[in-house]
């Protein structure tokens, strides 16, 4: 963050998309795995927001977008290490939006529901139809539109998924 | 709808924003008031969607946006005649999105949480600060962005409120 | 209701479990089917509550339990005629609880998530394992406990499902 | 837990009600405070459940009740250190219920919405009317009823609040 501020100036946008996940049942996860996932999925958003908020508050503008997933709204079996942190990140978003919205900082939480069309995902399932994945460019467009929203009508929560996704 | 189709062609976008509301406790509302509100707030969206969906399905594209309110998510005391229909409209949105998304029709539900800056609202509270109201232009911009979303990443549900709104 | 009051006195408990459902896509349902389901699934609860509330308010006690379903929380494809009314019934429950709780009337909404072990369901799938269905007696026990709750700690919303249900 | 098992045998019920909360804005909380709250409000439930689950699974029965709060469903301004952990605990409950329900262990999450009538709360506001607080005995009664539920109809989520509570 120091280098970003030095080289690029005070950030106007902060997108938090870090994620860590160890699939496993409650008796299979170690306490370290559980806490590490919780910290990566939630505390990291808190730490990052603390870095950019002072500058945003001073400017009276800025956008913080926190990326959620299906696990933000549903605690599936063997997904505890993901959904605990993702639920928590949504709580953080709501709390930050209520605290900093009136100070000019737009906080939004986006549930990305589906696979993103990345080289890694393509590598794992090369025959998968393109239309069943979210394109990074389409997600970026919506994030850009969130940043461009007028303070008269800000979005706190929204979801994104492919048209063909069954949910 | 016949005239629209005749004069303008098959609709590509349908926005449903009709609302009817009689504030009152359960023992004060008449059955007619209760059902009229339910029909205006929900059934009208169903009737309208039925008019535009066949053309949209044939084209394989189109956007239906249904406007919700705080009452879509919370049944307040003396708000039964509004929240029943608004909850129901949200159910309709979800059901239509799941049925018609795979056929190329984008269905979205937007919770507009706050007063809209209209001449009527201004007339009722002339001293109200502009920043406490949603501007119609800002809402329209988001509706336009919803219509412009790529099928790779469609939004089903989102909210809109002024930056300063307490909620 | 007149006969009930005459023969049994002022009702202390009112359970609304009426349901009507026509499965079908948006373009297959008729407006009559749509509105009939909405009225059976929601307006009937309003009409029934209006009959029992005056007596309950006068006594300063009473319990109204409205039965929901999975469709109370999720609008599935081809389930619009069920989920609209079930969402609306949940809104009605919240609104009534907030209006009449302080007057001593306990309003609760119970999402029954699964098949109930009735002769009709048994007839349709005779080989179904008993453990996959909700027993009417177990549901009744929870409804009785809701009625027995002390005003110091009332439940507005809860769910019920078989231990083995996947959800 | 070792001592409990030694002196009392395998636990049949585990209630997790630990809570830690430091009120404060995002820029006032230290990373240590944030993580400590997250661990007390969520990870502790995971650690405790790990202790009792093996015995419960072996017996094929047992009840785990995790206590939530209003902050389980709403991230209020300056409440991030509470709501993140409480949201996460709800995710944990859902995940455990889905994993262990079919193995005979009943997991439930109860949102206690209001002040509990404890000596500490009484001490802080001695003139507070009794009816505005949840009595510990009434909460205990509902927890007992949850433990007594038949596997045919188990509750995963419910709320509790005083009849007069405004919410």
Q: How far apart are CA C40 and CA C38, in angstroms?
A: 6
Contact (CB, 8 A) for C55 and C62: yes
Distance, in Å, from the CA atom of B107 to the CA atom of A57, rounded to the nearest integer, reads 36
Distances (CA, A) of B154 to B47, B97, D34, D148: 23, 10, 34, 45
Nearest by CB to A153, from B139, B150, B156: name it. B139
Task: Return d(Cα D132, Cα D116) in angstroms, integer.
Answer: 9
- Kindly indicate the confidence band of residue A136, based on its pLDDT and cuts at 50, 70 and 90: very high
Q: What is the pLDDT of residue A19?
A: 87
Sheet holding C62-69, edge to edge: C13-16, C62-69, C105-112, C157-160, D157-160, D105-112, D62-69, D13-16
DSSP class of residue C8 equals H
Helix residue ranges, H only, C13-69: 31-38, 44-59
Does C88 sit within 8 Å of B96, measured CB to CB?
Answer: no
The shortest CB-CB distance from A164 to any of B101, B135, B167 is to B101
> Which residues of C fall within a CB distance of 8 Å from D165?
101
> Rounded distance, CA C141 to CA C160, Å?
11
- The mean pLDDT of C2-9, rounded to a whole number, is 96
In angstroms, what separates the C-alpha of D22 from chain C's closest C-alpha?
A: 26
pLDDT tier at C113, thresholds 50, 70, 90: very high
For chain C, what is the mean pLDDT?
Answer: 97
Pick the more confident residue, B130 or B101: B101
What contacts C143, CB < 8 A, 6 or more positions away? Answer: C15, C65, C110
| Distance, CA of B163 to CA of A108 (rounded, Å) | 12
Q: Which residues pair with A110 in a beta bridge?
A: A67, A158
Q: What is the pLDDT of residue C137?
A: 97
* Section C68-80 average pLDDT: 98
User: Per residue in B66-110, pLDDT tens?
Assistant: 999 999 999 999 999 999 999 999 999 999 999 999 999 999 999
Across the strands, what pairs with C16?
C66
> How high is the mean pLDDT of chain A?
97
- Distance (Å, whole) CA D95 – CA A79: 6
- Mean pLDDT within A149-167: 96
* Residue contact D151–C133, C-beta within 8 A: no
Q: Is the pLDDT confidence value at A167 over 90?
A: yes
Give chain C positions within 8 Å (CB) of D149.
138, 141-142
**How many whole angstroms separate alpha carbon A54 and alpha carbon A157?**
23
- Give the whole-angstrom CA distance, residue C19 versus residue C5: 24
As a whole number of angstroms, the distance between CA C66 and CA C13 comes to 11
Chain D residues with beta carbon closer than 8 angstroms to that of A99: 25-26, 77-78
Record the pTM. 0.97
Q: Cα–Cα distance between C105 and B105 in angstroms, integer?
A: 45
Which pLDDT band, with edges at 50, 70 and 90, does C39 fall under?
very high
Name the residue among B151, B165, B167 with its Cβ closest to that of A162: B151
**Which pLDDT band, with edges at 50, 70 and 90, does B19 fall under?**
confident
Beta bridge partners of C107: C64
The whole-number pLDDT of residue C145 equals 98
Bridge partners, B109 (sequence order):
B66, B157
Q: Measure the CA–CA gap between A31 and A64, rounded to whole angstroms.
A: 30
pLDDT tens by residue, A73-112: 999 999 999 999 999 999 999 999 999 999 999 999 999 9
Residues of A with CB under 8 A from a CB of D: 25-27, 29, 31, 34-35, 38-39, 42-43, 46-47, 49-50, 53-54, 71, 74-80, 83-96, 98-100
Selecting from C102, C150, C164 the residue whose C-beta is nearest the C-beta of D102 gives C164
Nearest chain A alpha carbon to D26: A50
pLDDT at C20: 92
Residue A128 or A91, more confident: A91
Q: Which residue carries 């998530």 as its tokens?
A: C113
CA D79 to chain CA centroid, Å, is 17
Name A112's bridge partners: A69, A160
* pLDDT for residue C19: 87
Question: Whole-angstrom Cα distance, residue A84 to residue A10?
Answer: 31
Q: In whole angstroms, what is the distance from residue B15 CA to residue B93 CA?
A: 12
For the complex shown, is ipTM > 0.90?
yes
Question: Does residue A36 carry a pLDDT above 90?
Answer: yes
Query: D71 is written with which tokens?
Result: 């902050």
- Residue C125's pLDDT band (boundaries 50, 70, 90)? confident
Residue C43 is classified by DSSP as I
Q: Do D96 and A27 touch (CB under 8 A)?
A: no
Contact B45, B89 (CB under 8 A): yes
Distance CA A28, CA A26 (A): 6
Percent of chain A at pLDDT > 90 equals: 93
Confidence of residue C114 (pLDDT cuts 50, 70, 90): very high
In this predicted structure, the answer to whether residue A150 has a pLDDT above a threshold of 90 is yes
Give the residues of chain D that fall short of pLDDT 50: none
Give every CB contact of residue B122 below 8 A, 6+ residues apart in sequence.
B128
Report the pLDDT value the prediction gives residue D19, as an integer from 0 to 100: 87
Is the torsion defined by CA of C36, C39, C42, C45 positive or negative? negative
Structure tokens at A125: 């399932």
Touching C: which chains, 3+ CB pairs < 8 A?
B, D
pLDDT at B106: 98
């Amino acid at each position: 963050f120091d280098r970003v501020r030095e080289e690029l100036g005070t950030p106007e946008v902060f997108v938090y998309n870090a994620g860590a996940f160890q699939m496993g049942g409650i008796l299979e996860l170690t306490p370290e795995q559980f806490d590490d996932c919780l910290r990566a999925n939630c505390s990291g958003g808190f730490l990052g927001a603390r870095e950019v908020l002072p500058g945003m508050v001073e400017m009276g503008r800025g956008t913080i977008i926190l990326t959620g997933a299906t696990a933000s709204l549903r605690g599936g079996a063997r997904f505890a290490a993901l959904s605990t942190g993702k639920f928590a990140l949504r709580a953080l978003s709501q709390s930050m939006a209520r605290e900093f919205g009136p100070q000019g900082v737009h906080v939004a939480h986006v549930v990305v529901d589906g696979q993103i069309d990345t080289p890694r995902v393509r590598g794992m399932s090369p025959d998968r139809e393109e239309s069943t994945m979210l394109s990074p460019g389409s997600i970026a467009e919506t994030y850009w539109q969130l940043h461009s929203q007028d303070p008269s009508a800000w979005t706190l929560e929204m979801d994104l998924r492919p048209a063909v996704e069954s949910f």
